[in-house]
Chain A
Amino acid sequence: QKEVEQNSGPLSVPEGAIASLNCTYSDRGSQSFFWYRQYSGKSPELIMSIYSNGDKEDGRFTAQLNKASQYVSLLIRDSQPSDSATYLCAVNKGDSSYKLIFGSGTRLLVRP
């Protein structure tokens, strides 16, 4: 079992729709969770961080965390073609190292 699992996609949604990206993790000691966006050929860009159960909203983005289910998700409302990218879920290692374990990413395609 991978430490952080994501569906590789591609997830294709029409412009204006809600895109839902999911991630599961295996280390119950993990306390910090992040979503990064990576455009092709570029480095990752931090979108959201979430530390406690529930929802966290920032603009069109909502991160959801359920530690009991070891599940993190990212919702993108009113999806735009410019949102087309690979979304990486990252989870801290559950120790004091501050290391992040990355999922393999979900490719999102927003159709105009």
Chain B
Amino acid sequence: GAVVSQHPSWVICKSGTSVKIECRSLDFQATTMFWYRQFPKQSLMLMATSNEGSKATYEQGVEKDKFLINHASLTLSTLTVTSAHPEDSSFYICSARGNGIHEQFFGPGTRLTVL
């Protein structure tokens, strides 16, 4: 149980374009989903927290107009990187937790490369 999927697993795009990443909880209802970013040889950095049906809460320093998060259902959250630039190239990972559960289960991640 507790399987989280992400799509796509990798994406290459041109500078200035937008990229959408999907995160799905496959066998449980995700009350909360989290979006992280990880640069090479660094630890996970939380970008935002999203609860189903509510606006996402962004961490300090994360531009909410650049990283659009939608959590429209209990099994799906999306992260859209708008007007991507090479400095946005990173490993984006989502995690999800169910109601009353403290553990976060991670998706496999999406590697974004912006040319």
Query: Could you say which residues of chain B place their CB within 8 Å of the CB of A17?
Result: none
Q: Give the shortest distance, in Å, between B100 (CB) and chain A (any CB).
A: 10
Contact (Cβ within 8 A) A98 B43: no
Write out, one digit per residue, whether chain B residues 29-49 have a CB within 8 A of any chain A CB (1) or not (0): 000101000000011101001
Known: A34-B103, A42-B109. Contact between A103 and B43, CB under 8 A?
yes
Contact (Cβ within 8 A) A43 B102: no
Interchain CB contact (< 8 A) of B103 among A43, A46, A88, A104: A46
Query: Could you say which residues of chain B place their CB within 8 Å of the CB of A104?
Result: 42-43
Q: 12 additional contacts, CB 8 Å, given A97-B49, A98-B102, A104-B43?
A: A32-B102, A34-B104, A42-B108, A43-B106, A43-B107, A44-B93, A45-B106, A49-B102, A51-B102, A98-B97, A102-B43, A102-B44
**What residues of chain B have their CB less than 8 Å away from a CB belonging to chain A?**
32, 34, 42-44, 46, 49, 57, 93, 97, 102-109
8 tightest CB-CB pairs across the interface, nearest first? A43-B109, A32-B102, A104-B43, A43-B106, A102-B44, A43-B93, A44-B106, A102-B43
**What residues of chain A have their CB less than 8 Å away from a CB belonging to chain B?**
32, 34, 36, 42-46, 49, 51, 88, 90, 92, 97-100, 102-105
